[in-house]
Amino acid sequence: MPKIRIENVVASTSLGDELDLQSIALGLDGAEYEPEQFPGLIYRLKEPKTAILLFRSGKVVCTGAKSMTEVENSIKTVAQQIRKGGQKITMKPRIEVQNIVASSDLGSEINLNAIAVTLGLDRVEYEPEQFPGLVCRIEEPRVVVLLFGSGKLVCTGARKPSDVELAVKKITQELRGAGLLR
């Protein structure tokens, strides 16, 4: 099984009914809040290296994490800082993963033209003039795998790490079974 590396976990939650972004921006050192440019407040953490987007509705999006633990730590850190600033918020919010992006390497170069023909046009998009990778949709788990001629791949759309593992295993087996991967 090829080694899989999680590159980004995007998750969301809610810290309450309404957030006063203006006062949060003043209380969080380095926070970016320009409502005429973007409706949310952007706060970047150095450890773990993530970005938190806060919205007036109380919704929060965390991006850039490499694991669920990093997501949880980032949201907890920001929640504590907001609470210190005097805002009433939910301290143990339910966090939901929206997307996991992961990368892997099949270990050898692959022929994308042959793969496009073999896997069929119903689940594959390959237009090398537009994009150098082959886009393959997998039904179960419901993810998209981008395959590159170098043998590298990117999996996106997963909701849990096991979905990524299953998708990489499935695509590897399918390519080996068709004689397209050594």
- The answer to whether position 4 is within a domain reads no
Of 97, 114, 149, the last residue of a domain is 97
The pLDDT, as a whole number, for residue 63 is: 98
Domain check: are 64 and 135 in the same one?
Answer: no
Give the model's pLDDT for residue 1.
74
| Same domain assignment for residues 153 and 123 | yes
In a domain, 152, yes or no: yes
Q: What does each of the 182 residues of the chain score in pLDDT, given as a tens digit?
A: 789 999 999 999 999 989 999 999 999 999 999 999 999 999 999 999 999 999 999 999 999 999 999 999 999 999 999 999 888 898 789 999 999 999 999 999 999 999 999 998 899 999 999 999 999 999 999 999 999 999 999 999 999 999 999 999 999 999 999 999 97
User: Which of 97, 128, 143 is the last residue in one of the domains?
Assistant: 97
Q: Which of 8, 10, 9 is nearest to 61 (CA)?
A: 10
Burial of 100 (0-12, 13-18, 19+ CB in 10 A): buried
Question: Number of structural domains, the chain?
Answer: 2
Residue at 1 is within a domain? no
Same-domain check for residues 93 and 119: no
148 within a domain of the structure (yes/no): yes
Q: DSSP secondary-structure letter at 47?
A: T
Report the predicted TM-score, pTM, of the whole model to 2 decimal places: 0.92
Which pLDDT score is estimated for 92?
A: 86
Same domain, 93 and 21: yes
- Looking at the chain, the number of H-run helices and the number of E-run strands are 4, 9
Domain that holds residue 158: 106-177
Same domain, 36 and 75: yes
Distance (Å, rounded) from C-alpha 48 to C-alpha 150? 31
